[in-house]
Structures are given as C-alpha cells and as structure tokens.
Amino acid sequence: MSLDAYRLLRPLIFRLSPETAHNLTFKGGRIAKGIPGAMALLEGLCQAGISSRAMDACGLHFPSPIGLGAGLDKGAEVLPLWKALGFGSVEIGTVTPKPQPGNPLPRLFRLPEESLILNRMGFNSEGAEVVAQRLKRRPKGLIVGGNIGKNKVTPEEKALDDYREAYRLIAPEVDYIALNISSPNTPGLRRLQAPEALAPLLGGMMQIRKEMGLESQPILVKLAPDLDGEELDAIVDVIAASGLSGIIATNTTLDRGIVSDINRDKVLSWGDGGLSGKGLKLKAREVQRRILQRIPPHLKLVACGGIGSAEDAKAAMQDGAAWVQVYSALIFEGPFLVRRMLKGM
C-alpha cells in the first residue's frame, strides 16, 4: 500500500519543478519534526519488521549500512526525518565556509524514465556558522557526516583556507568529515584532485585535525567518476599516504553517454551539470572496484552512485565497500526505499 501510494503521488509531485518539490518536502519535514509523536509514527511505518543491520566502520557504529549521500540535506535541516526513514547515516552539505546562493535557476532537472537527475546547484549553502549551530540540535542514534567545500569566489591556491575554515566550525558537531573536491559545478574544483594539489590539501587538513584534538575523527575525500585509470591510481596513492580514513566514490558525472540515445538531446538541452542516478551505477562501480584493488586495508571505501536497491547495496558491500549512500533513488522510489533495501539485505 505504501509503495502504491507513493506511485500515485509521484506524477503530481513531478509536475512541480524539482527545486519547488524539494523545498515543499523540507517545509513538511520541518513541520513534522515539531509535532509530538510524528517522527515516532513515521519510524514505525518505515522500519516495521526490519532486523538490526548495525555495523562498524572507520571507528564509528552505524545503525545500518544505508546512508543518505550529500546534496539533499545541505543544511542539516531535517535530520530526524532521515533517521525515521531508516538511514543509518546522513552526510549533510556540501557546506561552504561563507554563505553563497549557488548557481542561477533552473539548476535541477529530472529524467524519471531513466531515474536520472541533472544538477548544477553550485554549492548553495547557508554557510558553516549557521549549519554548525543547527547541528548542535542533531538527533541521537544517527551518524552524521559533514561534507565541506570551498566558496566559488575562492581561488584554487587558497582552497585549503576555505576547507580549514569550514572544518573548524563543522567538525566538532559531526561524526566524520568528507572533503568535496569533485563537484563539477564549482569552476576549477576538480583540479584539486590532481596529486600535486591534493597532497598539500590533505596534509593541511590532517594538521588542523591534530590542532583541534580530533585525531580520532575520520576524514574522507569524495572523488569524481570521470577520472581515467592512471589518474585515479595516482590520486588513490596520495590519499593512502595522507593518513585519511577513506574515499567516497563517486560524485556526479559529466558523461552524457550514460543517457539513452532517445533522451540524450533532451539532457543536452538542459546544459551544464552533473548526472546522478541509475545510469551512473556501472561507471561508479568500475571506479569503486579499481579503488578497492589499490587501497590498503585501513582505508575504507564508501560506495555512492546509482545505488537504489538491496541488490545494488549487497553488490557494493561484497566488492568491499564499508557502507553505501543513496540519493537519486530516494527521489524516484520514495520514503520506503530504505525499508525495502534493508529487508532485501
């Protein structure tokens, strides 16, 4: 019944622009979390019959291996909602040190027939100070990661300053930090993945972690799916030598080849942006497998990109992923997605 209800509502929801639908969902989530008993009721509906899938990774205890990827709850606005839906972890952000509006509208597009999303949000963020204050009221029993990035106006050579500034505010309020150096929607950001730029960036982040006495807090880095094999190997070697805890693979792709021929012109007409969703799965898994073949045992991989079913999650974890993250699938499959995934696992 719950699945059928969402399928009935989805055509109505998808008549709204993606960002309008997003904003209405978050408004409803903010209202619901203020109603006594609402989250408990939702939790009962979404987690009925689910046995424990708790697991440990990176020194953290996760209620389940299904996480919500960065980009949906950028400002940590409705964390109780994600907990009620059954997510074991939520990665908030990307959070920039200073507030910024992101790119002009329209900047978010859906392709429901292929379960794909194109976004060029551009790190729209309320800023680290606002988000850090909100995180002080985070719910218990949910792993929260903080995904941080640089402001658009900050030149690449000053990127470390931005990551350190965001880290100072966000890190004390979250369980782990993710460094976003792979979004295609901030000019020049992906160049930070180059080994010669990445090594000093990671070194600077490990230093501030030590300065703040947070040596036990995991830091992970999120990579793009569009790196060729040799580039990826060199980047993974730098990460492995840095002392970081893990890699999140992958971010969105610029590859329009993941779209079917019949829909490619439509997607091309939307313009710039990164693609996520079902079509990214094979490309992301190739990257994940290559990383897993190269990393030392202490370095963990978080699988992200096209994951939307129990089978996808099981395949990623059988490959060697520590946990998985979903995003686009939640938009297309609805609030009972995590329940179905956990039951299937």
- Residues 318, 310 contacting (CB under 8 angstroms): no
- Residues 303, 249 contacting (CB under 8 angstroms): yes
pLDDT > 80? residue 55: yes
pLDDT > 50? residue 334: yes
For residue 8, what pLDDT is reported?
85
Q: pLDDT band at residue 5, thresholds of 50, 70 and 90? A: confident
Q: What is the dihedral of CA 253, 254, 255, 258, to 10 degrees?
A: 50
pLDDT > 50? residue 293: yes
DSSP states along 135-159: HTTPPTT-EEEEEE---TTS-GGGH
Residues catalogued as catalytic: 183
Q: Count helices and strands (H / E) in the chain.
A: 13, 13
The share of the chain scoring above pLDDT 70, in percent, equals: 99
Please give the DSSP secondary-structure letter assigned to residue 104.
P
Q: pLDDT band at residue 57, thresholds of 50, 70 and 90? A: very high
pLDDT > 50? residue 308: yes
Mean pLDDT for 209-219 is 98
* Lowest mean pLDDT segment, chosen from 5-9, 117-121, 188-192: 5-9
For residue 169, what pLDDT is reported?
98
For residue 49, what pLDDT is reported?
81
pLDDT > 90? residue 141: yes
Q: Is the pTM of this model over 0.95?
A: yes
Other CB atoms within a 10 A radius of the CB of residue 31 amount to: 11
Q: What is the pLDDT of residues 102-114, one digit of tens each?
A: 999 999 999 999 9
pLDDT > 90? residue 4: no
Instruction: Give CATH for domain 2-344.
Output: 3.20.20.70
pLDDT > 60? residue 25: yes
Strand-pairing partners, residue 249, are 223, 303
For residue 50, what pLDDT is reported?
84
The overall average pLDDT reported for the chain is 96
The domains of the chain are located at 2-344
Copy the structure tokens of residue 119: 């976004």
Q: pLDDT band at residue 1, thresholds of 50, 70 and 90? A: very low
Mean pLDDT for 142-149 is 98
164-to-174, 209, 219, 235, 319 alpha-carbon distances in Å: 15, 9, 12, 21, 33
Among 137, 138, 191, 135, which Cα is nearest to 166's? Answer: 135
For residue 51, what pLDDT is reported?
81
pLDDT > 90? residue 23: yes
